[in-house]
């Protein structure tokens, strides 16, 4: 059985003081549910958040990582560095990293392997852009991203990975994919995983939808058969909005 997973991506928002304020408030609102939850914060706030959320069941994730353990890679952060401060999850291949920072299908795959080897759970983002959707190429693009991301990853490791389907045209734009569009693409992702592995493995992998999820549309999205969770950007910055989504 797949456990629903609702995660917040803070992107490059919140100073230390703001992160502390969020954590204090969110802890008073969160009473534990059947839904797994986590906050993906900027690097400087991660150690603070793992301390603040210790014992609460609220997970903490990074938004990026380097695939090498150490080395002359100025400005980068490694898996052991994240692990040491209690980080449980890490985003890989968010469309903003693919678009602005040269993330490729190859680096996505290397990062996933490094995270799994270092015992941090990857959340891999895939999704088509507007032009690709208008050309009717969304399924081809997304299944290609999935095949590249899961390349040479064994069954036992594959089930530790969460997939976030995030159509690029719906991120931070206020445009949400219709629940049917999101459901169809999550179905397509599961079929690709079934092709790569087998039905049992594919059925265990959690697939989130992301793209302008907010309190008003969360339950409709979460009630779709193929959607197991949500990756929430803008609305996760406000503890009151984020808790409403977690408690959809
Ligand atoms: C995201 O950052 O992954 C995201 C989906 O953002 P938003 O919810 O703001 O569209």
Q: What is the mean pLDDT of the chain?
A: 97
Residue 33: is its pLDDT beyond 90? no
The total number of residues shown for the chain amounts to: 248
pLDDT cut 70: percent of the chain above it? 100
pLDDT band at 173 (very low <50, low <70, confident <90, very high): confident
Closest CA to 126 of 100, 92, 153: 92
Closest CA to 146 of 129, 169, 172, 128: 128
Q: What is the mean pLDDT of residues 125-140?
A: 96
Which positions are catalytic? 94, 166
Q: What is the mean pLDDT of residues 166-178?
A: 88
Least confident of 61-70, 103-112, 168-177, 222-231: 168-177
Task: Check: CB of residue 95 under 8 Å from CB of residue 105.
Answer: no
Q: What is the pLDDT of residue 10?
A: 98
CATH value of 5-246 in 3.20.20.70, 3.40.50.510, 3.40.630.30, 3.40.1190.20: 3.20.20.70
pLDDT band at 212 (very low <50, low <70, confident <90, very high): very high
Measured distance CA(229)–CA(169) in Å, rounded: 19
Backbone angles phi, psi at 64, to 5 degrees: -170, 165
Measured distance CA(122)–CA(119) in Å, rounded: 9
Residue 100: is its pLDDT beyond 90? yes
Q: Find where tokens 């265990």 sit.
A: 204
Whole-model pTM: value is 0.97
Which residue puts its alpha carbon closest to atom 6 of ligand 1? Answer: 233
Q: Which residues form ligand 1's pocket by a CB distance below 6 Å?
A: 9, 11, 166, 171-172, 210-213, 231-234
Measured distance CA(66)–CA(92) in Å, rounded: 10
pLDDT band at 176 (very low <50, low <70, confident <90, very high): confident
Residue 29: is its pLDDT beyond 90? yes
| Ligand 1 centroid distance, CA of 64 (Å) | 15
Atom of ligand 1 nearest to the CA of 234: 9
pLDDT in tens, 214-228: 999 999 999 999 999
pLDDT in tens, 52-67: 999 999 999 999 999 9
Task: Check: CB of residue 143 under 8 Å from CB of residue 192.
Answer: yes
| Ligand 1 centroid distance, CA of 71 (Å) | 32
Outline where DSSP puts E strands in the chain.
Answer: 5-9, 36-40, 58-62, 89-92, 121-126, 162-165, 207-210, 229-232
Q: What is the pLDDT of residue 206?
A: 98
Measured distance CA(37)–CA(5) in Å, rounded: 6
């Amino acid at each position: 059985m797949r456990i629903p997973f609702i995660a917040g991506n803070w992107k490059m928002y919140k100073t230390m003081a703001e992160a502390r304020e969020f954590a204090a408030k969110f802890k008073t609102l969160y009473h534990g549910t059947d839904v797994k939850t986590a906050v993906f914060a900027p690097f400087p706030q991660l150690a603070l958040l793992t301390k603040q959320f210790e014992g609460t069941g609220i997970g903490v994730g990074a938004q990026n990582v380097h695939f090498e353990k150490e080395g002359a890679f100025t400005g980068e952060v490694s898996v052991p560095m994240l692990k040491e401060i209690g980080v449980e999850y890490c985003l890989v291949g968010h469309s903003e990293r693919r678009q602005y920072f040269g993330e490729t299908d190859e680096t996505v795959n290397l990062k996933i392997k490094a995270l799994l080897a270092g015992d941090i759970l990857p959340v891999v983002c895939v999704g088509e852009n507007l032009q690709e959707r208008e050309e009717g190429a969304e399924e081809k693009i997304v299944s290609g991203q999935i095949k590249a991301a899961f390349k040479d990853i064994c069954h036992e490791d594959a089930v530790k990975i969460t997939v976030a389907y995030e159509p690029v045209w719906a991120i931070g734009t206020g445009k949400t994919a219709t629940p049917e569009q999101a459901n169809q693409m999550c179905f397509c992702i599961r079929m690709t995983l079934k092709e790569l592995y087998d039905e049992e493995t594919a059925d265990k992998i959690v697939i989130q939808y992301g793209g302008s999820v907010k309190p008003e549309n969360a339950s409709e999205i979460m009630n779709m058969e193929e959607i197991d969770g949500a990756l929430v950007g803008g609305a996760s910055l406000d503890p009151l909005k984020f808790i409403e989504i977690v408690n959809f």
